[in-house]
Amino acid sequence: MKSELIAVSEANDFIKAHDNFVIISHANPDGDTLGCAFALCRALQKLGKKAKNICADEISHRYDFMKKSVEVQDFEPQTYITVDVADVKLLGDLEKIYGGKIDLAIDHHISHVDFAKYLLIEPHAAAAAQTVYKVILELGGGELFDDQIAACLYTGISTDSGCFKYSCADPETHRIAAELLEYNFDHSELDYVFFDLKTKSRIELEKKIYDSIEFFCDGKCALVSVTKEQLDSIDPEDVNGISAIPRCIEGVEVSVVMKQRSNGSWKASLRSNRDVNVQKICSAFGGGGHERAAGCSFGSAGLDEAKQRIISEIGKVLG
């Protein structure tokens, strides 16, 4: 279906005219989708509306502070909103139940595939949390914001911008973050938890990753592979951020992390440092994302074939 594009003010009108909200995050949730969901849910509850969050996958204990920010409410759902969901397939197991019911999608992916009745999208934004910030500001004129909402939105922006290191972190990103920092939450602790803190199993995984690094395209592309056996032996949260490991190598312009899914298929996560648009590379395989961070899947292809296909496409860009 073709979504109707709407502005923040129109999203505000829609939300005020409806109630009994179900806010849905994408599967394998990250800080942005969860930060958006819990911030918006709390804001709606403060407006006197019924709202709850759902996700197909388990939410890491690192986000417990978000869970505590909302009330558990029981009601008959009427209105469905997705946050930071670029494609209905990313709802995971919830797609079959809610895929055809989405009223409003709030997103920031340039590769967004329409599935909702209405779409509020800002492809320039470093995180969907920037757009949700504007929605909440429009809904309450600033009165809805509190320490908990600020912490949720800050987490969304920080985690999706690489703690403000990525090129997507533009002046607006920093201005919104500065507004959020006026509230009373420990941003340094959040950044420590999401960027510096590592479990012992994460360290073991990193050792294996460093041992598996391969270089292509005259050293401009670095690739690592992680099997499902390796993934099964660690906490799912420990996998987050591994794409940054090969990206940090001097001379590397594109990094690729090949991850094997539970069904044996392979998925590639690409990151670029400067001028390479990895979203276009991934789109050749039906994937998408952002210019500097994107992903794609390879169906039944084995690791060797998947690697050959993605490296061939990257080579067309890097030469």
Q: CA 114 from chain center: how many Å?
A: 17
48 and 159 share one domain: yes
Tell me: do 42 and 168 sit in the same domain: yes
In whole angstroms, what is the distance from residue 190 CA to residue 314 CA?
35
Q: Which residues pair with 308 in a beta bridge?
A: none
Residues 31 and 173 in one domain: yes
Residues 163 and 212 in one domain: no
DSSP class of residue 184 equals S
Same domain? 177 vs 234: no
Q: CA torsion sign, 135 to 86 to 104 to 58?
A: negative
Query: How confident is the model at residue 243, as a pLDDT?
Result: 81
CA Rg value for the chain = 19
In 150-253, which ranges are E strands? 214-216, 221-226
CB 129 within 8 A of CB 35: yes
Domain boundary among 128, 163, 195: 195
- Mind listing the pLDDT tens digit of every residue in the chain (319 residues)? 899 999 999 999 999 999 999 999 999 899 999 999 999 999 999 999 999 999 999 999 999 999 999 999 999 999 999 999 999 999 999 999 999 999 999 999 988 999 999 999 999 999 999 999 999 999 998 999 999 999 999 999 999 999 999 889 999 999 999 999 999 999 999 999 999 998 898 898 899 889 989 999 999 999 999 998 888 877 777 787 788 889 889 999 999 999 998 889 999 999 998 789 999 999 999 998 888 889 999 988 999 999 999 999 999 999 7
Domain limits at 117? 4-195
Of 195, 230, 250, the last residue of a domain is 195
Reading the block at residue 72, the tokens are 């558990």
Helix and strand totals (H; E) in the chain:
13, 12
The tokens describing 107, both together, are: 């997103």
Residues 288 and 142 in one domain: no
Q: Are residues 22 and 149 in the same domain?
A: yes
Tell me which of 195, 219, 241 is where a domain ends: 195
Count of structural domains, the chain: 2
Could you tell me which residues come within 8 angstroms of residue 77 by beta carbon, excluding any fewer than 6 positions away? 20, 21, 22
- CATH number of the domain residue 253 falls in: 3.10.310.30
| Same domain assignment for residues 183 and 212 | no
End-to-end CA distance of the chain: 38
Q: Are 178 and 280 within one domain?
A: no
Instruction: Specify whether 253 is located in the same domain as 141.
Output: no
CATH number of the domain where residue 120 is located = 3.90.1640.10
Residues 247/220, Cβ–Cβ less than 8 Å: no
Check residue 144 and give its pLDDT.
97
Q: How many C-beta atoms surround the C-beta of residue 172 within 10 A?
A: 14
Residue 215 and residue 185 in one domain? no
Residue 103 and residue 112: Cα distance in Å, rounded? 15
Question: Are residues 137 and 207 part of one domain?
Answer: no
Q: With contact defined as beta carbons under 8 Å apart, do 100 and 113 qualify?
A: no
